[in-house]
Structure 1
Amino acid sequence: MKLQPTLLALALALACGLAAAKTVRIANQGDAQSMDPHSLNESMQLSFTGNVYEPLVARDKKLALVPGLATSWKQTSPTVWRFELRRGVKFHDGTPFGADDVVFSFKRVAGEGSDMKSYVSSVKDVRKVDDHTVEIETVTPFPILPDVLTLVYMMSKKWCEENKAELPVDRRKGIENAASFRANGTGPFRLKERQPTTRTVLVRNAGYWDKVESNVDEVVFTPIGNDATRVAALLSGEVDVMEPVPLQDVQRLRSSSDIKLLQGPELRTIFLGMDQKRDELLFSSVKGKNPFKDKRVRQAFYQAIDIETIKTRVMRGAATPTGLMIAPGIKGFPGELNKRLPYDPEAAKKLLAEAGYANGFEVSMNCPNDRYVNDGDICQAVAANLARIGVKINLQAETKVTYFPKILSRNTSFYMLGWTPGTYDSHNALNALMATPTDKGQGQFNLGSYSNAKLDELTLKIQSETDQARRNEMIREAFKIHQDDVGHIPLHQQALAWATKKNVELVQLPDNFMFYKWIVVK
């Protein structure tokens, strides 16, 4: 059969496209723990599933808000937002996307087992207007609602019901369902293969609604926990992209003619939390009371930590010590408060003695060893610092696969956590990390249950305040209260370090998200 000119041109174009299609192999120190987009509020998890699932409101390469599965949104009253949904979008199984899926997804996010509740704690109701329009009503006026929704991914109501995945995978209880190992999103990539802790393969969604800048048609994601093995895999050509780059290998990779090193500041703050709720700590030599309820003990721990030595020796300079729970670049950041309490072991000993612990005490510390940059080493350094003031730390460093379920169930006395506000706004950290925990999602990651009624009151006011100057002053006041209480112990913002082969182009965002739709292999 003789092809007509237009058909011939189309055939040639398709052939060229197929020829240009590439596989990219990505290695990370840890794995995405589940394919369920509502199961874990962790940036690596949300980054990975964000290639398969999508939110109503998305972000561009500069983190500005752009239309996602909603083409537009507007406030119709102080507490009601109307979202116009994108037409013609289909889930990977061919099911059309519509308003019923949005209503279902919000209910799922707010429901039992969800780790994303804090993002919808301000939502009172989600209503279907028609198949392509929804209204979201908030409890109080909430001007930053679109910012909050960028990590609330939409799932198929039909698929979840058919696969008995109406509720999220509960990481705290170890309960799994079909959404753990399978996926059905609307995103530019769909799940082809899932082998937890070993290998996950994504392939391009041929029916994707938007233009994709990438020529990648397959992504092979491999967790490689050992630093040396991960670097060797990149240098040998076994993988094309790896992160994070071990700090001790930064210079080595920078000098390689075959490798590109991408470095930049990250918006994540690494901090330590303490159980301030129980009358007796779960894991401590102190019986009948809780030392962390005493501010003097919390301050003693803080002032015993040699943050500059951690920066220079453990982090090899790739960290910025901080006195706040958020990073510069987060909206409302009160820079004038960004001062740490001085490192002073003698003052720390005196505080402990005043609190009734002149001889110190023992307490367990939970820490991941494959989630943040040099996380296990940081915890070892903290333990050594605290030993100098008589506190014996029983360090339990473990893979994030077992670490997160443990601390998220609050089965901890002293722990490490890292946080990037998904909204890039100060309210997120106040609401999720510092406000008193409730069953609606407020304080969901305030795992030590720090509580201050005035901070709670300010957090609610900040949520609805539209005057920016007044809002910033309230943010400053709230962070000052938390700082004065030593509610947590902020450590530093870590630096990003990725490495790729020379022929790979990608976009490194300061929230450490990696979107495959922007990867080009030359």
Structure 2
Amino acid sequence: MPFAKRGPWGAVAVLVLLGLLVPGAAAQPKPVVVVQSGEAATLDWHMHCDKNAHEPDRQIFDTLLRRDLKTLKLEGNLAESWRLLTDTTWQFKLRRGIKFHNGEPFDAAAVKFSVERMLNPAQGAPGRTSIASIDHVDVVDPYTVNVVTKTPFPLLPVRMSPGHCGTVGILPPKYVAQVGDAGFAVKPVGTGPYRLVEWVKDERLVLDANKDYHRGAPAIERLVFRPVPELTTRVAALLSGQADLVSDVPPDQVAKIKASGVARVEVSTLGGFVIMVKMTNYLMPGPWQDARVRKAINYAIDLDTIIKTVLEGYGQPLGVPLEKEAFGFNPAIKWWGYDPERAKALLREAGYANGFEMTLHAPNRRYMNDIEVMQAMAAMLGKVGIKATVQVWEQSVYTTKWRKRELLPAYMVAWGGAGVFDGDLLVNSLHSKSALAIHKNEALDKILEEAQGTNDPERRRALYFKAQEIIFEDAPIIKAYQQAHIFGISNRLDWKPWIDNMLFLYDARLK
């Protein structure tokens, strides 16, 4: 449903359509309206990996732990404390007196139910693999649980904090049993700062403040999420006063928002998408099987210029696909710089003095200016004799092909930190058995597996440092960068971005 044009009756009509005004109802403060790129398929936290569902879910549900935004350290949320009892047992002490929105008490039974529901293969939770090391949950008493793992699982506390797939939101077991999975998907109940009031598919999703929230009632009484697929329409809604918050604003819209006088831009660089171009060394024969060629490709790419021009400064080079704030990031390694002469020398050494042809696969607007980034890389490769063709795919086709490992020899992909901030992200992005892997390095696999199997932080740090040394020498990717997340925010809303592009609106205020 398009936004109405503003005219003598246009503004009122829009408010009614958004669910902001109800005919005959008493006047209420204007809700905060968030426009999103699409409609959620389900609001069951455990059953999706969808940003459009995550955002309302983060207002409805809670996790046992959360992050301090200044220190990035984990702190209690629904749990007041946690500790490691043995190498394979984590104990959580729960806060008392918390209730779900339907009045059902939050307790150890709810934690056990939520974790084991995600673990159940029959449930089909898409984030199950991220917590598959958990064996079971023991209820010690109504406010104490022991989470028992099959092997050491150092990331377990992280999986009990906010993120995307693979993090455990806490659900009410009695209510889920009462309404079933299908009922819960459309009428979820959590312990979060907002409760679901109404969901009209493809039109609006309305949340009201939870006055009994354990951290205190939110300042904003009502939130309305609206699906608006077209980006320019979302920005137009912000500038016309019909929306208060738009995420994933492209750089070319920033100046328009800044000049509007009614909205502003906020940029989050913390935990943003880590973008890389993966290269295969075994699925397709060719020059890219030689590490010298893969290094040459990296030396041919001027990533600083790409970020400055194509991304208009909204990003930072990383080299390794790991955030600089992450545990285990090795600052001592100076990742492949821009040196076209060195690139040419490596190509001659590898027997490709006259270059070669290759295809770079890119999605259509999945990441910030993704096509333009790949085109810039192709142009730079051309200067050292590599004729690179950029093949662009629609997003649905692209994701299907990457799961089948058909985007060869090189394709663009991103990993969202999602509040993990740990070297374990290297497992997801570069282990040969990860879902989207197209490169094999047995030494790297072994190091990453060792890091996953110990709770000793110093041992883990040393292993992640070694993993990055292997990545540097093997060059399985074109050096990674981290894109910033740009938000458009109405001037009446007092809110700062959280980690990554995740929306947490509990702390938001109206000016």
- Normalized against structure 1, the TM-score is what? 0.78
Match of 2:308 among 301, 309, 312: 312
Q: Is the 8 A contact 1:30 1:225 kept in 2?
A: no
Which residue number in structure 2 is paired with residue 503 of structure 1? 492
Match of 1:83 among 72, 80, 92: 92
Whichever residue aligns with residue 502 of structure 1, its letter is: N
The Cα shift of 1:478 comes to 1.0
Q: Is the 8 A contact 1:380 1:395 kept in 2?
A: no
1:372 to 1:395, Cα distance in 2 relative to 1, 3 A: closer
Report the secondary structure of 1:426's partner residue: coil
Q: Is the 8 A contact 2:362 2:390 kept in 1?
A: no
1:481 to 1:187, Cα distance in 2 relative to 1, 3 A: same
Residue by residue, what CA displacement relative to the aligned partner does 1:68-126 show, whole Å, maximum 9, x if unpaired?
22232222223211112334434344443333332332234334443323531432332
Q: Is the 8 A contact 1:51 1:516 kept in 2?
A: yes
Q: Is the aligned partner of 1:200 residue 2:205?
A: yes
1:465 to 1:451, Cα distance in 2 relative to 1, 3 A: same
The Cα shift of 1:477 comes to 0.8
The Cα shift of 1:433 comes to 1.9
Residue by residue, what CA displacement relative to the aligned partner does 1:306-346 show, whole Å, maximum 9, x if unpaired?
42332122111222122111122222221122422435399
Report the secondary structure of 2:138's partner residue: strand
Q: Is the 8 A contact 1:194 1:200 kept in 2?
A: yes
Whichever residue aligns with residue 209 of structure 2, its letter is: R
Q: Distance in 2 between matches of 1:158 and 1:52?
A: 17
Residue by residue, what CA displacement relative to the aligned partner does 1:391-416 show, whole Å, maximum 9, x if unpaired?
33321143xx6755654565644433
Whichever residue aligns with residue 426 of structure 1, its letter is: D
1:351 to 1:48, Cα distance in 2 relative to 1, 3 A: farther
Q: Distance in 1 between matches of 2:97 and 2:54?
A: 25
Which residue number in structure 2 is paired with residue 427 of structure 1? 423
Q: Is the 8 A contact 2:89 2:147 kept in 1?
A: yes
Match of 1:473 among 462, 474, 483: 462
Residue by residue, what CA displacement relative to the aligned partner does 1:250-304 show, whole Å, maximum 9, x if unpaired?
2343344332322242322432344748745xxxxxxxx4765543554454444
The Cα shift of 1:511 comes to 2.0
The Cα shift of 1:520 comes to 1.2
Report the secondary structure of 1:51's partner residue: helix
Report the secondary structure of 1:391's partner residue: strand
Which residue number in structure 1 is paired with residue 143 of structure 2? 132
The Cα shift of 1:33 comes to 5.7
Which residue number in structure 2 is paired with residue 231 of structure 1? 235
Which residue number in structure 2 is paired with residue 104 of structure 1? 113
Mean CA deviation greater in 412-421 or 493-502: 412-421
Q: Is the aligned partner of 1:448 residue 2:457?
A: no
Whichever residue aligns with residue 156 of structure 1, its letter is: P
1:337 to 1:154, Cα distance in 2 relative to 1, 3 A: same
Which residue number in structure 2 is paired with residue 377 of structure 1? 372
Which residue number in structure 2 is paired with residue 516 of structure 1? 505
Which residue number in structure 2 is paired with residue 245 of structure 1? 249
Residue by residue, what CA displacement relative to the aligned partner does 1:211-253 show, whole Å, maximum 9, x if unpaired?
1342232323333432x33322212111112223331232343
Aligned pairs (5 A) from 1:244-393: 244-274=248-278, 276=280, 279-280=283-284, 289=285, 293-296=289-292, 298-342=294-338, 344=340, 347=343, 351=347, 354=350, 360-361=356-357, 363=359, 365-369=361-365, 371-385=366-380, 389-393=386-390
1:351 to 1:502, Cα distance in 2 relative to 1, 3 A: same
Report the secondary structure of 1:390's partner residue: strand
Which residue number in structure 1 is paired with residue 81 of structure 2? 72
Q: Distance in 2 between matches of 1:434 and 1:324?
A: 10
Report the secondary structure of 1:232's partner residue: helix
Q: Is the 8 A contact 1:268 1:493 kept in 2?
A: yes
Q: Is the 8 A contact 1:426 1:475 kept in 2?
A: no
Whichever residue aligns with residue 270 of structure 2, its letter is: E
The Cα shift of 1:164 comes to 5.0
Q: Is the 8 A contact 2:292 2:346 kept in 1?
A: no
Which residue number in structure 2 is paired with residue 117 of structure 1? 128
Q: Is the 8 A contact 2:210 2:217 kept in 1?
A: no
The Cα shift of 1:487 comes to 2.4
Q: Distance in 2 between matches of 1:254 and 1:163?
A: 46
Q: Distance in 2 between matches of 1:108 and 1:277?
A: 38
1:496 to 1:454, Cα distance in 2 relative to 1, 3 A: same
Report the secondary structure of 1:190's partner residue: strand
Q: Is the 8 A contact 1:462 1:471 kept in 2?
A: yes
Report the secondary structure of 2:66's partner residue: strand
Aligned pairs (5 A) from 1:210-221: 210-221=215-226
Report the secondary structure of 2:484's partner residue: strand
Where structure 1 has 5 or more consecutive residues not aligned to the other structure, the ranges are 1-17, 166-176, 281-288, 438-442
Q: Is the 8 A contact 1:324 1:338 kept in 2?
A: no
Q: RMSD of the alignment, in Å?
A: 3.6
Q: Is the 8 A contact 1:373 1:494 kept in 2?
A: yes
1:221 to 1:355, Cα distance in 2 relative to 1, 3 A: farther
Whichever residue aligns with residue 391 of structure 1, its letter is: A
Match of 2:411 among 409, 415, 419: 415
Match of 1:149 among 130, 142, 160: 160
Whichever residue aligns with residue 116 of structure 1, its letter is: G
Q: Distance in 2 between matches of 1:378 and 1:297?
A: 20
The Cα shift of 1:54 comes to 1.6
The Cα shift of 1:23 comes to 0.5
Q: Distance in 1 between matches of 2:407 and 2:98?
A: 44
Q: Distance in 2 between matches of 1:219 and 1:379?
A: 36
Q: Distance in 2 between matches of 1:426 and 1:70?
A: 22
Q: Is the 8 A contact 1:39 1:114 kept in 2?
A: yes
Report the secondary structure of 1:251's partner residue: helix
Q: Is the 8 A contact 2:65 2:75 kept in 1?
A: yes
Report the secondary structure of 2:252's partner residue: helix
Report the secondary structure of 1:450's partner residue: coil
